Structure formats: C-alpha cells, structure tokens
Structure 1
C-alpha cells in the first residue's frame, strides 16, 4: 500500500509526538512503536514494502501499525485527519489547522530603496496537498532528504516558499542544496538564507544559480589561499572578507599579497589587514602589479632617500631657528654683568 504521511515532524532528526507518548506507550506493541519510529524518520511518501524492509516486520504488520497510529491521531495518512484520542494528560497543544496567510513586510534601506520580504504560513494539510498535486515539488522533497537534509513542518514551509513564491525551480533548489551540503551546512534554514540572498541580487534561474555557486567557490578558494599565507586558522571577520574580496576584484596576485604581508610584519610586527590594504592600494595607484616592480620601487625609493640625506648639511637650520625663537635673552650673560665688568 502506498502512503502519504503527515506527522508532527519527520526526517533524519525528529521529535517524538506527545500524542503517542500520552496513553499509548504502555498499550502499543513493540512492532507498532518501531514502525512509528520508521515512519517519523523516513520520507512522507513511502509504501508498506519500504517500511517493512526498514522495520523488519511484515507488510501486514506495517498496515496494522499505520492504522493504529492513524486512529490514535498521531499521524495523518494520505491527507486525512483522524479524530485524536483524548488523553488524560494535563498538557495541551494547539491543533488548529490555520489557512495560508501571506505577510509582506517592507524594510526601507538607507538609499530609500524598498526591500520586500515575503513570509508564508502554511498549515500541514495545505503543504501536504501542494506536494501531492505537484510532481516536481513531491520529487524535490524526497530528493533533498537524500542529500542529508532533515525536514520538519516549518522547514518544509521554507522549502515550499522558495519553490512557490520565489519561483526557484526544483533543479535550482537541489543544486543549491548540494552546494550547501558541500560546505557542511545540511540545513533548510541555511539553504533558505543563501537562496533569498541570491534572489535579492537578481539571481533566480538555474544558470544564474550555477554561476553564483561557481563565483562563491572561486571566492572561497581565494580567501583560503590568503588565510594560508597569513597563517590564519580562525574564520575571517566580515571586514576581513571585504578586504579580500576587494583584493580579488583588483586582481592582486598571491605573491604580491604575500610581499605586502611581509612588509606589514616588518613594520608593525603583527598582522593588520588595513595596513596590508594600504600597501596594496598604494602599489595599485603607482601601477605596480608584480613583485619585481614593487621591489624595484623600493630600491628607487631608498636611493632617492640616500641622495637627499647626503645633500643635507651637518646642522639643522630649523633647529637653530626654533632655538632662537624660544631662547630667553633675559638670561644672557651680558645681562648679568656687575658694575666694572668689561
């Protein structure tokens, strides 16, 4: 039998429904509890055969367990909500099936531009119906879980939001999800943030998402190389990332950046992104694009400084002038002569 479940949460990480714990753990069988765990940990769209293989019980045991938990109000099956069994427990949870609501918030920026952020609230039944009526969305939900993304109710809402309201197609979302997974971020919330940022930058099609991922990988590779040169093991700050992005944009090569880093250590005895940035910008303004040009510029500067030093007199006229301006002539020897002194 094919099943389409709607439980409180499901996926690789899930919370155990209170409705199952209250009044059923003592009365249900071992098979029923194990099959329930398989339902919660598995995908929404499955069948008796898959659950039987996963749990180790027969398909008839699976069907009986599904019917038991459905009647108990713990899970919904094929979009149908059963009447929940009343519990004597004192805990009360809201079971309202609220309609879809769309809230549009307006946030003015400093430049007087208007940024719109759409927030959507779906009921569990509506999310289930959307997935059931859209084969691409249904496939997206199943495939994204195969990428080690766990999905609960609120996370599914974010996924549907990307697909339905922001108009990212399923292949684009899966491509972005794989990109996040490669970065060690198997989280729908993280995926949602990344894709909304792209959307605000005008990125929406599959080709644009693919290019954004390539650009992100190149930037990360550039930053990692610089962090290696600087001997940094901790994550760079946003300001440091901005410096590195600018160096990449201006086309500074790693040898030139390393030379600027060494000069920074020679002068300040510590790492300073702002000081290195000043050196690199000064070279850029002078048309210096290579280590050879930078070293030649240093040689010319030292020669010029040495020539000026050789032409400088052994006394400092400014020092004498300051001395004369500040000297108290009342203390001069000739003002202290006694009568009869020559």
Structure 2
C-alpha cells in the first residue's frame, strides 16, 4: 500500500529535524513525539509544562520526561534562565542536527543542594545535566541499564550524587546490582545508597566488596529459610537473628539441631526460642552438634546411673546447660 501527502490542506508549516525521522521514530514513544511536535510548532515561544500538557494530552510528569529525552538527544536545548515552570522550545537551525557538547551555564554562584531529597522539575534536572558531565554520563549509563529514565529516577540519582556524596561509578555499581536482583524501585536503591554513604562505601572496590557481602548474606538467609521450611521470606526481625548467627560463625548443622529441639519443645517455629538455645550452647562452649550430643549423653548417664544425690553439683550443672531453653 502506498501513501501520498495531501498538500492541499497545508497552511502554515514548521520544520522537523531530520534526525528525528531518521533515528527516533522507533526509539521515541508516542507521547515523546507529541511533546516534540508541539514544542517545534511553538519554536521561539516560552511554553510551560502545563500548557504543553493541556495541548497534547500528555501528563505533566510525562511532559517533563519527554523534554529531558529530547534534550539528551540534542534535539532540544535547555533554557538555563526560564525557571522551574518554563521550557524554551528551540528548533535547530540546521537541517541535520549534529551532536555537540552542551554549553556550560552562565557563570554564577551555584545554588546549594537541599539537605533532603526534593522533587526537581524537568527544567531543573536539565539545568543540572547541562552543568555536570558526571550527571550526564550517569544518566546515560543508567538509561542503558534501566531503560528510559523517569523523573523520579533522575531525582534519586542526583540526590545520591549531590547530597549523599556518592561517586558516579559507585552509583552505577549500585544500579547494576539492583537491576541484577530485579529491585529497581527508587526507595530500595536509596536505602542502600544511604547505608553506603553512612559507612563510607564510596569506591568501586568497596562497593563490590559490599555487594559480595550482601549476596553472601542473602544466600545464608535463603539456606536458613529452607532449613526451617519457611513458606515466605524471613522478616526484618528474623533476618537480624540470621545475620547474628552468621556473624557468630554458627554452623548450619548446629542451627538445624536448635530448630529441631524448638519444634520438639513448643511445636512451632520461633526464632527467639532458637536463638536462646544457641546462646546457651555458646555460653557453655558447645561449637558443634557433637559437643551438644556428648553433653546430652553424659547428662543422661548421670540421670540414669546408680542413685545419685539430688543435690549433686554435676547434675545441677548439666541440667542448667541442657535444659536452659526458655521462651
């Protein structure tokens, strides 16, 4: 099937950069194309986010994300002095748009970053990108990992970089890790980023070491959940017990024995009960299943032997060690 443009209905016209038709018809979304066409139609006019949204039917958030998309593609240029509400539509003068390095902002004292994460507008984010090569590179690599970035994701990364002080490569390492475990929501990434900043994990080597530690903890937690026949993931409180056992170097065999004794005693899974058993064994110097079994065997011999004095200190000691399992 062939198509022909009806030139008879043409009135006033405006141009569309060739790069858009050549490179972005497949890459850009319908909403991104709508926003671009409206801005090109209004070339030279200062357009607010609300105006663009009203005339295109695209939400305000998606409008700002679309503008940033075209700015990153060098089809639109950010207007440094328009403020948070204004977006200047700039139509390239050349038929073909060549990639150029963004020009630095006019020299002025940089605005201090807020102490807490704020919801930066699309034009504010664009201005930050224009003034920071690190942010531009961060967004470019993050986009290759996560896909087209949302306003909230860009806000989050700027907050990690400017407020938490994490280096660009460390943030990229964090994003790659979260993508590998399919947890890319901003709240999860920000939680990890805050911990890293607090613990001065701010080099690639330190970040990779921390990821290895986190993976090891997850694997250990999964083994415990399987050992305890749990149908769901351990809760935060349960994970605290698990990490405590891991850090103490308690073997899985010893934890399994404590679990079995818990089921025998109270017929249900209770992390606090298991933990008290393990603490009791640790206090008594029992490090292996064999240590516990040997102590129990000795205890039984003393209990079943020839008449013993009820106040025999040995009996009392064994009873305090073996039966010191409280709720």
> What TM-score do the two structures reach when normalised by structure 1?
0.61
SS state at 1:311 partner: coil
Match of 1:67 among 13, 27, 40: 40
Deviates more, 1:278-287 or 1:46-55: 46-55
Structure number with larger C-alpha Rg: 1
Unmatched 5+ stretches in structure 1:
1-34, 36-45, 84-98, 105-117, 314-342
Cα deviations across residues 14-39 of structure 1 (Å, max 9, x unaligned)? xxxxxxxxxxxxxxxxxxxxx9xxxx
Paired position in structure 1 for 2:129: 131
Paired position in structure 2 for 1:259: 257
Distance 2:157 2:234 in 1: 30
Paired position in structure 2 for 1:202: 200
Match of 1:307 among 295, 301, 305: 305
For the pair 1:50 / 2:49, whether they are aligned, the reply is no
For the 8 Å contact 1:100–1:121, the answer to whether it is kept is no
Rate the CA distance shift 1:56–1:204 in 2: closer, same or farther, 3 A. closer
For the pair 1:288 / 2:289, whether they are aligned, the reply is no
Distance 2:197 2:232 in 1: 30
SS state at 1:147 partner: helix
Report the Cα offset of residue 148 of structure 1: 2.4
Matches within 5 A, 1:140-159: 140-148=138-146, 151-159=149-157
Cα deviations across residues 185-209 of structure 1 (Å, max 9, x unaligned)? 1123321221012212232222222
Rate the CA distance shift 1:157–1:55 in 2: closer, same or farther, 3 A. closer
Matches within 5 A, 1:167-182: 167-182=165-180
Unmatched 5+ stretches in structure 2:
1-15, 53-62, 68-75, 80-86, 90-109, 311-327
Distance 1:119 1:62 in 2: 27
> What TM-score do the two structures reach when normalised by structure 2?
0.63
Paired position in structure 1 for 2:88: 82
Report the Cα offset of residue 232 of structure 1: 0.6
For the 8 Å contact 1:149–1:186, the answer to whether it is kept is no
Report the Cα offset of residue 221 of structure 1: 0.7
SS state at 1:284 partner: helix
Deviates more, 1:127-136 or 1:165-174: 127-136
Report the Cα offset of residue 265 of structure 1: 1.0
Matches within 5 A, 1:186-225: 186-225=184-223
Report the Cα offset of residue 228 of structure 1: 0.3
Distance 2:227 2:204 in 1: 35
Report the Cα offset of residue 101 of structure 1: 6.2
For the 8 Å contact 1:102–1:120, the answer to whether it is kept is no
Report the Cα offset of residue 164 of structure 1: 2.3
RMSD: 3.3
Distance 2:120 2:170 in 1: 22
Paired position in structure 1 for 2:6: none
Report the Cα offset of residue 271 of structure 1: 1.0
SS state at 2:160 partner: helix
Paired position in structure 1 for 2:9: none
More strand as a share of residues: 1
Rate the CA distance shift 1:64–1:120 in 2: closer, same or farther, 3 A. closer
Distance 1:50 1:62 in 2: 17
